[in-house]
Amino acid sequence: MTKVKNSNGDFWERNRKSDGYLLKKTALSYFVSIARFILLFGMCFMILQPIFNKISVSFMTLEDLNNPTIISIPENPTTDNYFLAAKLMSYSKGLVNSFVMALAIAVVQISMTTLVGYGFARFEFPFKKFWFACVMLIILIPPQTISTSLFLHFRFFDILGLHKLITGDTINLRGSALPYFLMSFGCMGLKNGLYIYMIRQFFRNIPKELEEAAYVDGCGTLMTFIRIMLPDAKPILTSCFLFSFVWQWTDGYYSKLFLGNIKLLSTELARLVDSLGAFLMRETGTTTTVPVAYSNAIMSTGTLMMILPLIILYLFAQRGFVESLSSSGIKM
Amino acid sequence: MKKQKNTLAGLQKRKAISGYIFISPFLIGFMVFMVKPLVQSLYMSFCDVQIAAGVINPVFKKIEQYKFALTVDPNFNRLLVEEFTRMLTNSLAIMVFSFFVSLILNQEFKGRAIVRAIFFLPVILSSGVIIGLETNNSLMAQLQANIQEAASGVSITATLESVLRTAGVGVRAFEEVFKLIDGIYDVAIASGIQIIIFLSGLQTISASMYEAADIEGCTAWESLWKITFPMISSMFLVNWVYTIIDFCMRSDNQVIDKINTVMITDINYGLASAMSWIYFAIVMAFVGITSLLISKGVYYYD
């Protein structure tokens, strides 16, 4: 108590000595932190609110949904929505499929883009500018522009007309995961240009002396890359890997185009309402329109179930997402 | 100089070869999956593509498809203009918002890690199929309206809006601003990556620069304009391009929707290609012009 008083007295005395400057400065800093708190709290709430909303809706029964007095806390909470959504999305199967696909594709994409990014960052070769412009081009081209012909390209797949020459017919690669893996090997997957760009920027900032020392000590090009450069690049590779995994997990576009036959959570979620309608029709035996509120509740539940694994991953790898990219200080 | 280039010798040659080996996955991928579809799609946009019994039969029709898309199709023009204005306003808002937020998140305060984690959550929430589902969720809109009604009889924003409307000056501009404020969630949810990029830029500015400015009598406001702005101006370019591209690829984009309908439901590949080339050309031109303008103002430290 005396200590507080003491320091308080000290404060006023110091304030008087500084002609009120200290008081002004302290008041300002308190004001700033309060304003910042209010602002950040509001914005965080805004981002989190839809998730909270979805959580509360996902526990509601149909009666609760239609009851206008119930806003956020359900009267008779139920987990039926979860079971129904899981059944309609074939959740366990979709979860495994999504996980395997996203993991495999992320690994392929990141290892390929790392090689390419390293090549662009550390070597001088003819036409380098031109090829890098091509990388920028694949970042800029919306996949929709070429999707029509990619679709046909894989429907009537052929390597330089060799297969047709031998068997008289082309290969139909549609409906298998192979085309997408091939594209990933060629760095043409979802947002791969962006990964190349980020990884290149990172490698460019590593001092040249490190590389030269390795060469002098008798390291080959490949060995230098594996033993010297890769361990350094861990933060950027982690963040790119996480981005790749998450975007692959939620991607509906490429999944629908190439992986249509494989049950993935993203594609299942996209047609959840349709399958709900079909399910209700089977159950009741008549064509009924699904109540909007109900289909939305199931939709929210499905969305929650889809992003739940990602949120768990995010909580664990939060530092990887946030800190690594910003603290590695890459210059874009 | 030219001679030297032609006869790369020794180490230089070896480096060039290993460089090509490293980027070969990209080269192969680009040749196989990008060049051919791109050329083909460009060609098809000038054709009437008929598909019969699994055989594609493009009939060359000159610019017929483009004419059809721009003059005959009742919706395409309107959607194009609508999406373009939406892109313009939203991108500007995203830039301002993410810059502002990253300035705040760069400061030291308690609980910064948690706040950062929450702000990057949109990287998950705004990706892929989820964003498309989010937009037409009527239940959520209804719930929100309920909450607003319950919370207060008079909505502050509505009152403010009506006051500003009666002022009568620049109503059109105000309308756009209102739209943005009402859709602030969309802006926040779309600016996860941009915040990360800005933050990474802010962290490369050394603290000694601010210290020196402070000692010279610079206020925080002045050092924002004289130090922070020029130092991360290159990030503005990156973010601007990324924002526009991201906006074009989002699944709630109506032009893309239209193209998909034409392609999948109507099976009119020619028209779909023509439409996507028109859209692509407009976006590319816009990105090109604006990034040229921005890059004039970009300041490079070294």
Query: Does the pLDDT value for residue B149 go beyond 70?
Result: no
Contact B15 A124 (CB under 8 A): yes
Distance CA B84, CA B74 (A): 17
Mutate to test the interface with A, among B2, B5, B18, B22 (most CBs of A within 10 A): B22
pLDDT higher for B170 or A249? A249
CA-CA-CA-CA torsion sign (A62, A65, A66, A72): positive
Q: Which pLDDT score, from 0 to 100, does residue B99 have?
A: 92
Query: Does the pLDDT value for residue B5 go beyond 70?
Result: no
Q: Which pLDDT score, from 0 to 100, does residue A1 have?
A: 42
Instruction: Give the E-state strand segments of A147-201 in sequence order.
Output: none
Round the average pLDDT of chain A to a whole number and report it: 79
Q: Which pLDDT score, from 0 to 100, does residue B146 have?
A: 61
Mean pLDDT, range B198-206, rounded to an integer = 80
Q: Which pLDDT score, from 0 to 100, does residue A3 have?
A: 47
Helix A292-327 and helix A21-58, axial crossing angle in degrees, nearest 10: 140
Residue B48, beta-bridge partner list: B59
What 3-state DSSP class applies to B2? helix
DSSP B264: I
Mean pLDDT, range A190-200, rounded to an integer = 84
Q: Tell me which CATH homologous superfamily contains domain A84-327.
A: MetI-like (1.10.3720.10)
Spatial CA neighbour of A246 closest among A138, A326, A300, A318? A318
The per-residue pLDDT for range B14-61, each reduced to its tens digit, is 888 888 888 898 988 888 788 877 887 788 788 777 766 556 667 777
Contact A296 B140 (CB under 8 A): yes
Which residues in chain B have their CB less than 8 angstroms from residue A142's CB? 245, 248-249, 256, 276, 279-280, 283
For A60, half-sphere exposure in the C-beta direction (CA atoms, 13 angstrom radius) is 27
Q: Are B243 and B237 spatial neighbours (Cβ–Cβ below 8 Å)?
A: no
Q: Which pLDDT score, from 0 to 100, does residue A173 have?
A: 63
Helix B192-202 and helix B233-249, axial crossing angle in degrees, nearest 10: 170
Domains of chain B as residue ranges with CATH: 1-37 (no CATH), 75-297 (1.10.3720.10)
What 3-state DSSP class applies to B48? strand
Mutate to test the interface with A, among B12, B20, B23, B266 (most CBs of A within 10 A): B23
- Max CA pair span of chain A: 97
What 3-state DSSP class applies to B277? helix
- Max CA pair span of chain B: 80
Q: What is the dihedral of CA B51, B57, B60, B63, to 10 degrees?
A: 20
Helix B76-105 and helix B192-202, axial crossing angle in degrees, nearest 10: 40
The encoded tokens of residue B219 equal 């206020």
% residues pLDDT > 70 (chain B): 82
Mean pLDDT, range B200-215, rounded to an integer = 84
Q: How far is CA B84 from CA A113, B79, B87, in A?
A: 32, 8, 5
Mean pLDDT, range A19-26, rounded to an integer = 84
Distance CA A259, CA B29 (A): 19
Query: What are the start and end residues of each CATH 1.10.3720.10 domain in chain A?
Result: 84-327
Among A106-110, A291-295, B150-154, B275-279, the range with the most confident prediction by mean pLDDT is A106-110
| CB burial of residue B103 (10 Å; 0-12, 13-18, 19+) | middle
Query: Does the pLDDT value for residue B207 go beyond 90?
Result: no
The per-residue pLDDT for range B71-109, each reduced to its tens digit, is 887 888 888 888 888 888 888 999 999 999 988 888 888
CB of B16 less than 8 A from some CB of A: yes
In degrees and rounded to multiples of 5, residue B296 shows phi and psi of -60, -35
The per-residue pLDDT for range A61-96, each reduced to its tens digit, is 877 777 777 777 888 888 888 888 888 888 888 889
Distance CA B46, CA B273 (A): 9
Round the average pLDDT of chain B to a whole number and report it: 78
The band of A6, judged by pLDDT with boundaries at 50, 70 and 90, is: low
Q: Are A76 and A64 spatial neighbours (Cβ–Cβ below 8 Å)?
A: yes
The per-residue pLDDT for range A218-242, each reduced to its tens digit, is 888 888 888 888 887 877 788 788 8
Contact B16 A124 (CB under 8 A): yes
